[in-house]
Structure 1
Amino acid sequence: MNWEQPAAALAAAVTHPASRWRGPVAGIPRHRFVPRWWHRGPDGWTRHDGRADPEQWQAAAYADRSVITSVAGQHADLAEDDDHPTGRPTSSATLPSLVVRMFQHARLGDDDELLDVGTGSGYGAALAAYRLGERQVTSVDVDPYLVDAARERLAGICLSPRLETVDATGELPGTFDRIVATVAVRPIPASWLAALRTGGRLVTTLAGTSLIVTAEKQPDGGAKGVIEWDRAGFMHARHDAGDYPPGVGELLDAARDAVSDDVTISPYPVVDVANAWDLASMLDLAAPGIEHHYSEDGEHRVALMAHPDGSWARASGRGDRLPTVYQGGPRRLWALLDDVRGYWLHHGELPVRGSRVFIKPDGTTTLARGKWHVRLTPT
């Protein structure tokens, strides 16, 4: 494949001309890291093999989008053409612009030693090794197959950063000046603080939200930072290769037709919560683990919510008219959402974006802005 030209075009699209990341994006053959992948269409997940269709391979690899390489733990590399897994994506090559932005949030210096949390395809580790030098980059993932495949693909382009198979929420292999995670955690693992050198900087997202945390290690072993105004969404960190969240798909399906005596009229129109990132993030801080579904049929709009504790909600309405809301289970999920929307209208904005972040050595994480604050504690 003639990859140099599409890689240069990708670099021009995701970096500015003076960026130190332009050279890495232009110089790394991304297609080598995604030889096979999953694509979700109307009939579910289907497998694509790049060597069978080089034109499609190039289009997928050099677009600024994520390429799904594993679904429900089934790697596209190891699957058959007629396999059709069901479930959630469990690994991907993250869209290059987001990988670059996460590294930029880290404010990497030329001499910094970096821990890349979430090896995945290995593409992010390749960019970092190209930028810093392979001896300054360690990359970890919980899935041994991903680590082995990434190591082989990196070697194929003459890069050999250190790769390790570990649960990134546990003990880490060394100490570092920068930790950048392309998996989401909640709260910040204590092991990250232990592995981060004083004055070092970590960059991650909070699981269930689009919130990017950047924080510097303090002499007392904790860290201080902010929630960036930027946004990102990553898969949750897993504790082992087979640790996949079960989801609440059946409860969401049941919520479509469920009957409840708790019927109210919401003061706000139906909203697609999952695509209202700040709203979804605030809601998840109040009630972690809610899943959403939204549909439109002409003017008719329906939003579903479900939580693993058995709570569910269904809101339906036409256009911007106030919707009828049905709720069941131990908590009233739509009422929690209305509380967040009410706060937004009363105060003019939601407080979480731009809030200060305080992390204790044990990982207890507090977000605070003005009179608002929330504390995330280790379980």
Structure 2
Amino acid sequence: MDWEQRALRLADEVTDPVSRWRESIASTARHELVPRWWERHDGDTWILRDGPSDIEHWMRRAYSDRSVITRVGTAHADHGELGDLTEGRPTSSATHPGLVVRMLRHGRLAEGMDLLDVGTGAGGLTAYASRRLGDQHVTSVDVDPYLCDVARDRLAAMGLHPQIHTLDATATKLPETYDRIIATVSVRPVPASWLAALRPGGRLVTTIANTSLILTAWKTEDGGATGQFERDWAGFMTSRRGEDYEPGLTKLFDVARDLDGDEASTGRYPVVDVENAWELRSMLEVLVPGVELDYEQQGRRRIAYLVHADGSWARAAADRLDPPTVHQGGPRRLWDELERIRNRQSAEGGLSLYGSPVRVTPDGVCHLSRGRWTATIA
């Protein structure tokens, strides 16, 4: 099994020739962290794949710059059988190595620093950091006890012995203090426990839930932090406390699909898949937190749905670039909120998020400011 050459090619793909992370990627047997995984099968259905039963496919998956889904809903890939089917949202993965390297770079790590990796998952970031910093300087935490146990065993088989703890890092006092905290789960707001666990002058790298925003911040004397949203983007699964995520707003999506609502109008801008329009999606989440999205394309027909737990919903439908017919209901006009953001984006040539300075108070609330524009993530 010629994994070394594959790992070297992966390192060439995701790092520069002079990168300090190149050797970590090239010397890590990533396939050993993902012996089984889930692949998208049809719609919301996933099918289980087993590495040893198809070694060539296993090697291609493990040594490509792609995320590998290892848990869907409550179903661990390790606990299934080849060909099993399941439905649900992904709840754990081996993050694609290129993104892991970018997060590590944002961490500004150096020899002798102690790192906390939040979101152990399959153990990829923990492995790379342990090789670069020494495993005695790396701690990893995850809410899932099985993921912690199996990552500990698989890393030990590679000769790596970082500290790995099972705990809810968003609510629990962390076991030690650290020079750097890097999270590969997204949060809103920043957990106060993370700020408390950062040493003076320490650096935090995380992402904001339901956005593509990477927050980097240095700890300040008041126990908070100051930094910015990087001119870079990433998307991570949202942190969870239970076995699975809470159910989405399925019934309200049914309302949005079927009813005329309180108001019908013609929209100004073409229908867009908001989930994949990252800058637009991020600003919508900052200004109207908690909006859930869906999108359909039926030939030339495009339909977008927005719903919110307060009962608000919107449906916009049009052929390709035509102005959409918009139906809305509930206490807020969600499509109007989206069009206000698009007005600003069109008038100013962009939005104010990427590169925005951020001040984080000790309780984790983020205060954004860019010129006369301000916002709060709480």
- TM-score after normalising by structure 1: 0.96
The answer to whether the 8 Å contact 2:142/2:169 transfers is: yes
Q: Against the structure 1 CA distance between its residues 38 and 250, is the aligned structure 2 distance closer, same or farther, given a 3 Å change threshold? A: farther
How far is the alpha carbon of 1:248 from its aligned partner?
A: 2.2
How many matched pairs? 376
The CA RMSD measured in Å over matched residues stands at: 1.3
Residue 218 of structure 2 corresponds to 216
Q: Which amino acid aligns with 2:141?
A: V
Residue 160 of structure 1 corresponds to 161
Residue 263 of structure 2 corresponds to 262
How far is the alpha carbon of 1:252 from its aligned partner?
A: 2.4
The answer to whether the 8 Å contact 2:262/2:330 transfers is: no
Percentage of matched positions with identical amino acids: 55
Partner SS, residue 235 of structure 2: coil
The answer to whether the 8 Å contact 1:247/1:308 transfers is: no
Distance in 1 between residues matched to 2:133 and 2:19, nearest whole Å: 14
1:289-320: CA deviations, max 9, x gaps?
22222222332211112223332211111121
Partner SS, residue 85 of structure 2: coil
Q: Which amino acid aligns with 2:116?
A: L
Distance in 2 between residues matched to 1:215 and 1:294, nearest whole Å: 34
1:146-202: CA deviations, max 9, x gaps?
000000000110100000001111211100000000000111111111100111100
Q: Which amino acid aligns with 1:184?
A: S
Distance in 2 between residues matched to 1:144 and 1:281, nearest whole Å: 31
Task: Indicate which of 203, 207, 212 corresponds to 1:201.
Answer: 203
Distance in 2 between residues matched to 1:252 and 1:41, nearest whole Å: 23
1:18-51: CA deviations, max 9, x gaps?
0011000000000000010001122511001111
How far is the alpha carbon of 1:61 from its aligned partner?
A: 0.5
The answer to whether the 8 Å contact 2:49/2:83 transfers is: no
Mean Cα deviation higher: 340-349 or 264-273:
340-349
Mean Cα deviation higher: 182-191 or 291-300:
291-300
Residue 175 of structure 2 corresponds to 173
Residue 80 of structure 2 corresponds to 79
Residue 238 of structure 1 corresponds to 240
Residue 353 of structure 1 corresponds to 354
* Residue 110 of structure 1 pairs with residue 119 of structure 2: no
Residue 42 of structure 2 corresponds to 42
Distance in 2 between residues matched to 1:347 and 1:173, nearest whole Å: 46
The answer to whether the 8 Å contact 2:206/2:216 transfers is: yes
How far is the alpha carbon of 1:239 from its aligned partner?
A: 2.2
1:118-144: CA deviations, max 9, x gaps?
000011100100110000000000000
How far is the alpha carbon of 1:215 from its aligned partner?
A: 0.2
1:318-373: CA deviations, max 9, x gaps?
12111100112222111110111112123332011110110111112111111111
The answer for unaligned runs of 5 or more in structure 2 is: none
Partner SS, residue 327 of structure 2: strand
Distance in 1 between residues matched to 2:24 and 2:112, nearest whole Å: 17
The answer to whether the 8 Å contact 2:34/2:94 transfers is: yes
How far is the alpha carbon of 1:257 from its aligned partner?
A: 2.5
Distance in 2 between residues matched to 1:18 and 1:359, nearest whole Å: 34
Distance in 1 between residues matched to 2:274 and 2:152, nearest whole Å: 39
Partner SS, residue 230 of structure 2: strand
Distance in 2 between residues matched to 1:202 and 1:261, nearest whole Å: 45
The answer to whether the 8 Å contact 1:190/1:361 transfers is: yes
Residue 33 of structure 2 corresponds to 33
